[in-house]
Amino acid sequence: MKEVEDRYSRQVLFRGIGREGQLRIRSARVAIVGCGALGSAGSEMLARCGVGFLRLIDRDFVEWSNLQRQSLYDEEDARQGRPKAMAAAERLARINSQVRVEPRVSDLSFENVGELLGEVDVIVDGSDNFETRFLVNDYAVREGIPWMYGGAVGSYGLAMAVLPGKGPCLRCLIPTLPAAGGGDTCDTAGVIAPIVHVVVSYQVTQVLRLLVGEQVASGLLTVDLWQDEWRRVREVARRDDCECCRLRRFSFLDGEARSGAAHLCGRNAVQVNPARRGELDLVSLSRRLETAGPVQVSDYLVRFQVGELEVTVFRDGRAIVKGTDDLAQARSIYSRYVGT
């Protein structure tokens, strides 16, 4: 069909892809974990490239502070506080109707990782915390699925292709979870939009190379745009004592390393996870909460105020408590208003 040929004509002309490579891209399935800065930019690039299937996984909703760097969203998304996965999917459908997009408003956990990351060719990291990244790493290594690690804070970014069985995994580079307060976050150092797109450009390029059958190096790229420091990709040694890829101990995948609450990068907020997963009746919950004050309810979430705190409860039972970084306080609010 001429429309299809025209859409990807410049990509097909590129020697590294060609017609056969474009067909491989069209038949590929990619999961994107997180639809924030990296995830929104990455999913847009992949949709425009013609990747046949994109699964968007995100637990969060759009806020005003996202609009400076999260390219798929607009003011109306922030005004409504729409779930990022849904807002992203609708925008991508308008960008490329030939791509099948599957939005999943969910928090990736050891309980649902097989469902959310199963049956894909590549996983792309757009997450905002290392607990999630270590979980993705466990699953990808166990299942032999390549994935693209990436991160950005301030003007600094880094990315690495993890190729199970062929090179180091993330835990060869970072053996244990970084300590809380041990480094800058978007909340303390901010982040500028250009570094997001540099990291994503590298991630997506490696994805395309994998999909068309090229060899990809598993080195680490680091860049600081403000300091104008462009570092070459350096090799990462595969550790003989790596818990994950050498010793095959998948503690995050097994649920041994799960936490009940976690700080969220980029703002003063805590996510609380229920002790048992299950789908909430949001309408019923919203009625119960009316005694506490005004309540907003949609098909995906319930939002209400507790003093200066804003609480958003999702259908899968998770809650984001905004206005505090106190894990105990967030758990207490959850227990008082949502239940245990």
Summarised one tens digit per residue, pLDDT across range 164-197 is: 999 999 999 999 987 544 456 665 578 999 999 9
HEC states along the chain? CHHHHHHCHHHHHCCCCHHHHHHHHHCCEEEEECCCHHHHHHHHHHHHHCCCEEEEEECCECCHHHCCCCCCCCHHHHHHCCEHHHHHHHHHHHHCCCCEEEEEECCCCCCCHHHHHCCCCEEEECCCCHHHHHHHHHHHHHHCCCEEEEEEEECEEEEEEECCCCCCCHHHHCCCCCCCCCCCCHHHHCECHHHHHHHHHHHHHHHHHHHCCCCCCCEEEEEECCCCEECCCEECCCCCCCCCCCCCCCCCCCCCCCCCEEECCCCCEEEECCCCCCCCCHHHHHHHHHHHCCEEECCCEEEEEECCEEEEEECCCCEEEECCCCHHHHHHHHHHHCCC
pLDDT (average), residues 196-206: 97
pLDDT of residue 275: 60
Instruction: Give backbone dihedrals phi and psi of 32, rounded to 5 degrees, phi first.
Output: -120, 120
CATH classification number, 2-235, choose in 3.40.50.1000, 3.90.1300.10, 3.40.50.720, 3.40.47.10: 3.40.50.720
Give pTM, 2 decimals.
0.83
One fold for 2-235 and 261-337: no
Per-residue pLDDT at 180: 47
Active site residue 49: no
pLDDT value of position 3 = 63
Instruction: Provide the pLDDT confidence category of residue 259 given band limits of 50, 70 and 90.
Output: low
The position carrying tokens 């506080």 is 81
For the chain, give every domain's residue range.
2-235, 261-337
Q: Distance of CA 5 to CAs 18, 101, 172, 239, 315, Å?
A: 12, 21, 42, 46, 41
pLDDT at position 184: 61
Region 50-78: what's the mean pLDDT?
94
Catalytic entry in 186, 242, 244, 245: 186
In CATH terms, the fold of domain 261-337 is TATA-Binding Protein (3.30.310)
pLDDT single digits (tens) 204-256? 999 999 999 999 988 899 999 999 998 877 788 999 999 999 999 999 998 87
112-154 per-position pLDDT tens digit: 999 999 999 999 999 988 888 999 999 999 999 999 999 999 9
